[in-house]
């Protein structure tokens, strides 16, 4: 029996992983005999947050290990997999719409595989709806059993029956899965899975299970490996990175992880998301300030500026505590760029309570905001609360908030004119001959330059500040 003092073990037993390796070999050989002249093609699309994107990279890695070639051409593919998100109703509606559009594709060749996974599928009622109303979907699995994909594919190929697996409950941690990284210079590293916070509006704890942290040394080794391969930006991911290792090893918490990765030799930035203000400590902010490779960007979702709303959201901090964290962070890092998430129209939010959000936004002066209208999620506490305000009123408040943020962002970017910034050059911009780079503070600057600069750090001077995208010019090393 497990004693109270022993560390929780979320790992999947080795026999189970060995079984999956056998399924992988069997699936690969079935695929080889069905596709003697070419590789089978897999189209994978991921919705939602970076955590889901990181899952998508594992899914793609597993599919490649079975012999699939990844493709962007959905119509000519042999397998379509949607890795879904449940965070808001709108995200779910898009998935149902896209699954509906796959009917003709599936009926044109019944040996094709249509698969759905991710947060949305981890909800019982969604899986039931797929079972009943979308009979041409072959495979549905939840967030905790990605490692079983070889078995699922084998069963779809050979059993001719639909496969549903939503097991997992509180979740697990599986190491060693193959990963197909989408980027060549920016990489995601999940450091923990799940969430224990139970914010009253949020479905994540239900679909992703309890918090589980990955092993400290494993994470550092993964970062070291990526940096040695030439990655220039490492983003550490978790629903609440500040509670990293709370469940396992209190002597190696998130600040220690940042320091260990910061100590790796090389030219790279470390980013992280998301920080919950409840667990954001002065120690974390001091660590950010002291670690030169940690980007001076803090995404600290506030959700609301009103104490009653924050209480009903079960956020465990109030406006004053949030603002004192912001003040402390700015005192330690005067150039810090701060971004946030805000929900408008939480059940019962009054006009005065919403005004508190506006005044908080004015006070903090965010670089940018992710703003959402409250979406009731079945099974969460907030979905049961009375909600007297209609959609038109919520839309009006949403616009007031985004207008205010636009003014703030406009003022902030205007002040950047003539200044020089180091950017990581990311991709060609829309405008011919221009590149798009991102500053440490997560601001995009577009400037004329050659595509060979993509994936490198460059210095850029802001010439024309626009609200969201700034124009700049490349500064030569000689300048």
Does residue 273 touch ligand 5AD according to CB under 6 A? no
CA-based nearest residue to 424, from 183, 261, 205: 183
Q: Which is nearer to ligand 5AD, 139 or 273 (CB)?
A: 273
Q: Tell me how far apart the alpha carbons of residues 38 and 27 are, in angstroms, rounded to a whole number.
A: 16
Work out what residue 343 binds among ligand 5AD, ligand SF4, none; the CB cut-off runs from 5 to 8 Å by kind. ligand 5AD
Work out what residue 48 binds among ligand SF4, ligand 5AD, none; the CB cut-off runs from 5 to 8 Å by kind. ligand SF4
Q: Which is nearer to ligand 5AD, 359 or 375 (CB)?
A: 375
Window contacting ligand SF4 (CB under 6 A); options: 80-88, 241-249, 338-346, 368-376? 80-88
Does residue 205 touch ligand SF4 according to CB under 6 A? no
Contact 341, 240 (CB under 8 A): no
The CB density around residue 410, as the number of other CB atoms within 10 Å, is 14
Window contacting ligand SF4 (CB under 6 A); options: 58-66, 200-208, 244-252, 285-293? 200-208
Distances (CA, A) of 226 to 49, 57, 180, 185, 296: 21, 15, 13, 9, 21
Does residue 301 touch ligand 5AD according to CB under 6 A? yes
Q: What does the per-residue mask of binding to ligand 5AD show for 361-400, with x meaning CB under 6 A?
A: -----------x-xx-x-----------------------
β-sheet bridge partners, residue 79: 42, 113
Q: How far is the CB of 84 from ligand SF4 (least distance, A)?
A: 7
Q: Tell me how far apart the alpha carbons of residues 413 and 464 are, in angstroms, rounded to a whole number.
A: 9
Which H, E and C letters describe 324-345, residue by residue?
Answer: HHHHHHHHHCCCCEEEEEEEEC
Q: Which residues of 454-467 are buried (b: 16+ CB within 10 A; e: fewer)?
A: bbebbebbbeebeb
Q: How far is the CB of 201 from ligand SF4 (least distance, A)?
A: 12
Does residue 174 touch ligand 5AD according to CB under 6 A? no
Contact 361, 405 (CB under 8 A): yes
Does residue 240 touch ligand SF4 according to CB under 6 A? no
Work out what residue 208 binds among ligand 5AD, ligand SF4, none; the CB cut-off runs from 5 to 8 Å by kind. ligand SF4
β-sheet bridge partners, residue 444: 438, 469
Helix residue ranges per DSSP H, 117-215: 124-133, 149-158, 204-208
Q: What does the per-residue mask of binding to ligand 5AD show for 189-228, with x meaning CB under 6 A?
A: ------------xx--------------------------
Q: Which is nearer to ligand 5AD, 103 or 381 (CB)?
A: 381
Interacting residue with ligand 5AD among 41, 60, 88, 297 (CB under 6 A): 88
Contact 216, 249 (CB under 8 A): yes
Q: Which is nearer to ligand SF4, 163 or 204 (CB)?
A: 204
Interacting residue with ligand 5AD among 80, 87, 187, 261 (CB under 6 A): 87
Q: Which is nearer to ligand SF4, 207 or 325 (CB)?
A: 207
Q: How far is the CB of 204 from ligand 5AD (least distance, A)?
A: 7
How many amino acids of this chain bind ligand 5AD (CB under 6 A)? 12
Work out what residue 52 binds among ligand SF4, ligand 5AD, none; the CB cut-off runs from 5 to 8 Å by kind. ligand SF4
Work out what residue 375 binds among ligand SF4, ligand 5AD, none; the CB cut-off runs from 5 to 8 Å by kind. ligand 5AD
CA-based nearest residue to 84, from 55, 42, 109: 55
Q: Which residues of 277-289 are buried (b: 16+ CB within 10 A; e: fewer)?
A: bbbbeeebbebbb
Does residue 136 touch ligand 5AD according to CB under 6 A? no
Structure tokens at 143: 């967030």
Question: What part of residues 322-351 is at the interface with ligand 5AD (CB under 6 A)?
Answer: 341, 343
Interacting residue with ligand SF4 among 27, 80, 86, 310 (CB under 6 A): 86
269: left (phi over 0), alpha (psi -120 to 50) or beta: beta
Name the residue with the smallest CB distance to ligand SF4: 48
Helix (H, G, I), strand (E, B) or coil at 174: coil
Q: Tell me how far apart the alpha carbons of residues 85 and 87 are, in angstroms, rounded to a whole number.
A: 6
Binding residues for ligand 5AD (CB under 6 A): 87-88, 201-202, 301, 303, 341, 343, 372, 374-375, 377
């Amino acid at each position: 029996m497990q004693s109270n003092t022993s560390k929780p073990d979320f790992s999947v037993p080795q026999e189970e992983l060995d079984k999956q390796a056998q399924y992988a070999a069997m699936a690969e050989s079935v695929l080889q005999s069905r596709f003697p002249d070419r590789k089978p093609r897999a189209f994978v699309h991921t919705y939602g947050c970076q955590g889901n994107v990181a899952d998508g990279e594992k899914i793609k890695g597993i599919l490649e290990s079975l012999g699939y070639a990844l493709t962007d051409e959905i119509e000519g593919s042999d397998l379509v997999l949607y890795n879904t998100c449940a965070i808001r109703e709108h995200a779910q509606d898009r998935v149902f719409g896209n699954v509906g559009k796959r009917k003709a594709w599936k009926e044109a060749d019944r040996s094709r595989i249509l698969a759905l996974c991710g947060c949305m599928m981890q909800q019982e009622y969604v899986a039931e709806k797929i079972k009943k109303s979308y009979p041409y979907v072959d495979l549905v699995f939840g967030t905790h059993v990605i490692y079983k994909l070889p078995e699922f594919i084998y069963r779809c190929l050979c059993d001719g029956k639909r496969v549903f697996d939503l097991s997992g409950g509180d979740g697990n941690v599986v190491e060693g899965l193959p990963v197909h990284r989408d980027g060549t210079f920016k990489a995601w590293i999940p450091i923990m899975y799940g969430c224990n916070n139970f914010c009253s509006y949020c479905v994540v704890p239900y679909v992703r299970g309890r918090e589980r942290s990955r092993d400290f040394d494993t994470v550092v080794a993964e970062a070291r490996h990526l940096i040695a391969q030439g990655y220039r930006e490492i983003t550490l991911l978790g629903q609440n990175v500040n509670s990293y290792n709370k469940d396992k090893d209190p002597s190696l918490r998130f600040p220690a992880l940042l320091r260990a990765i910061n100590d790796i030799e090389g030219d790279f930035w470390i980013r992280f998301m998301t920080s919950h203000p409840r667990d954001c400590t002065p120690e974390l902010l001091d660590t950010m300030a002291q670690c030169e490779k940690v980007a001076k960007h803090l995404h600290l979702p506030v959700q609301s500026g009103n104490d009653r709303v924050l209480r009903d959201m079960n956020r465990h901090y109030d406006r004053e505590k949030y603002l004192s964290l912001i003040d402390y962070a700015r005192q330690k890092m005067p150039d810090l760029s701060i971004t946030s998430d805000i929900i408008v129209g939480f059940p019962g939010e009054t006009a005065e309570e919403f005004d508190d959000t506006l005044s908080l936004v004015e006070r903090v002066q965010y670089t940018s905001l992710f703003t959402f209208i409250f979406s009731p999620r079945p099974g969460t506490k907030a979905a049961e609360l009375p909600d007297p305000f209609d959609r038109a009123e919520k839309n009006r408040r949403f616009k007031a908030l985004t207008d205010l943020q636009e003014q703030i962002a406009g003022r902030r970017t205007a002040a950047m004119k003539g200044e020089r910034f180091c950017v990581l050059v990311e991709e060609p911009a829309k405008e011919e001959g221009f590149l798009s780079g991102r500053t440490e503070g997560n601001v995009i600057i577009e400037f004329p330059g050659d595509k060979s600069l993509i994936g490198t750090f460059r210095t850029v001077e802001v010439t024309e500040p626009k609200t969201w995208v700034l124009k700049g010019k490349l500064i030569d090393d000689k300048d």
